Amino acid sequence: MQTVVLGSSGTTAEDVLAVARGAARIELAPEALVAVAESREVIEALAAKPEPVYGVSTGFGALATRHISPELRAQLQRNIVRSHAAGMGPHVEREVVRALMFLRLKTVASGRTGVRPLVVQTMADVLNAGITPVVHEYGSLGCSGDLAPLSHCALTLMGEGDAEGPDGIVRPAGELLAEHGIEPVELREKEGLALLNGTDGMLGMLVMACGDMARLFTAADITAALSMEALLGVSGVLAPELHAIRPHPGQAASAANMVRVLAGSGLTGHHQDDAPRVQDAYSIRCAPQVAGAGRDTLSHARLVADRELAAAVDNPVVLPDGRVESNGNFHGAPVAYVLDFLAIAAADLGSIAERRTDRLLDKNRSHGLPAFLAGDPGVDSGLMIAQYTQAALVSELKRLAVPASVDSIPSSAMQEDHVSMGWSAARKLRTAIDNLTRIIAVELYAATRAIELREGLTPAPATQAVLKAVRAAGVEGPGGDRFLAPDLAAADAFVRGGQLVEAVESVTGPLA
């Protein structure tokens, strides 16, 4: 089992994915525990003074004006967790909650939040035990952190609320902690606040989205190449010298991927005697420009994610010189913007893929293919309704591309009067990525069928590898009408599981 060592200076996207999706174990570096202990000494010294300090000896948010006496401070920290664990709606996916917890652990291990080493170690123990707090869909406004989601996680550390065990069964958190020999934490000054004041939920979903989108851009380059091949397209538009004069790196990478997929094709650039073409339609000719713009958007999103992974987001924070200062670093705007930006890129990539599919099915634009790629058009409907499904998914993507981050709704008696809605941006992006995967799968299904209908012509070696692999995966080829949903589900699994890219790379080597 992989082990992730967490120090005091942030973490990496690879570590987040290893913990969230791969169940990697977490070890705390000794220097992190030293940093945590040193910052705790600062908090305890402040707690002993008569002057009020926000989050240590005061209430929270709009209630920060009240000074809290020492005998009530443990209750204060328990109460903030209990009262803020107010989420509603469906349970959030296990991988999202594990990413959320790990990223909060990353921040408290930084020595900037003032919690005790005991709290940090307990968080690691809960993750290593495979205990996953129940977090609900609704409750975060993306400012003052992902408050409700993080509060549900903190509730589990206290032995309260519900959590999912390693077996996937939801049970009382106290029972699960006891079974794994983990003592519930009794929170002290500053600790409740430190556990729920961060951008960890939206950041975790951004990190996972970046990994998923990278794979989908490669898959989309492949299906675009297959569609170009099926439509006997003009592959000269992919020449590197054409893309060099408009030097967007993502565009060049997508064009290069398509060139490698089409190498050795007996379809592209040939067999146009009946309808000579100098140019293909935009959905074919401009595929690298659209996918490339999305790739460059992804690069920017990764830059933002990396910066946030290096951050220690809390309020107040313990600075290296020992000062404890209030701040606004919990505002999720930087993360929310790129989450929305990726949703826009996903919608446009899905839109152009659907246009290529529609072209493959239209006998007036497909250059000799049967209507709807049907076995016997008229008797058979072929892939007519597969394109309907794809179009419905594209329409949904367009709705999901409406930015969440332009919205704001005041809360906490107008103390928190501008919020990021970053959690909402992340949640809709996850849906968008799921739908984009399905859209690419439908294009794959149509393009592979169309290529096999070009009898007597030899597709590229990479295409042949895709045809062999996709048929072995249970996606049927040309023929009469049949129950299409299982074929589409198999195509979706083929794209989602990475087999499409693997099949091509077995011939081309690694693609961008």
| Active-site residue list | 54
**Residue holding tokens 């398509």?**
258
Report the distance separating Cα 467 and Cα 486, nearest Å.
17
Q: What is the rounded CA–CA span in Å between residue 500 and residue 222?
A: 8
Measure the CA–CA gap between 206 and 208, rounded to whole angstroms: 5
Q: 162 exposed, middle or buried (CB, 10 Å; 0-12, 13-18, 19+)?
A: middle
Beta strands in 367-463 (DSSP E): none
**What is the crossing angle of helices 30-47 and 117-128, to 10°?**
130
Cα separation, 154 vs 78, in Å, equals 9
Q: Which residues contact 430 (CB under 8 A, 6 or more apart)?
A: 96, 205, 208, 209
Do 58 and 35 touch, CB atoms closer than 8 A? no
Contacts of 158 (CB under 8 A, 6+ apart): 78, 81, 173, 184, 185, 186, 187
User: Cα separation of 63 and 417, whole Å?
Assistant: 15
Query: What DSSP letter does each residue of 420-434 carry, written as one string?
Result: --HHHHHHHHHHHHH
| Amino acid letter for position 377 | P
Q: Residue 481: phi, psi to the nearest 5?
A: -60, 145
∠ at Cα 504 (501, 510), nearest 5°? Answer: 75
Cα separation of 153 and 136, whole Å? 11
Confirm if 199 and 146 have CB atoms less than 8 A apart: yes
Residue 58 CB burial class (10 angstroms; 0-12, 13-18, ≥19): middle
Helix axes 200-230 and 287-309, enclosed angle (nearest 10): 160
Identify whether the C-beta of residue 108 lies closer than 8 Å to the C-beta of residue 313: no
User: Is the CB of residue 316 less than 8 Å from the CB of residue 327?
Assistant: yes
Is the CB of residue 381 less than 8 Å from the CB of residue 481? yes
Measured CA to CA, the distance from residue 123 to residue 137 in angstroms comes to 22
**Dist. CA 363–CA 296, nearest whole Å:** 35
Strand-pairing partners, residue 5, are: 27
Amino acid present at 352: I
Residue type, 146: D
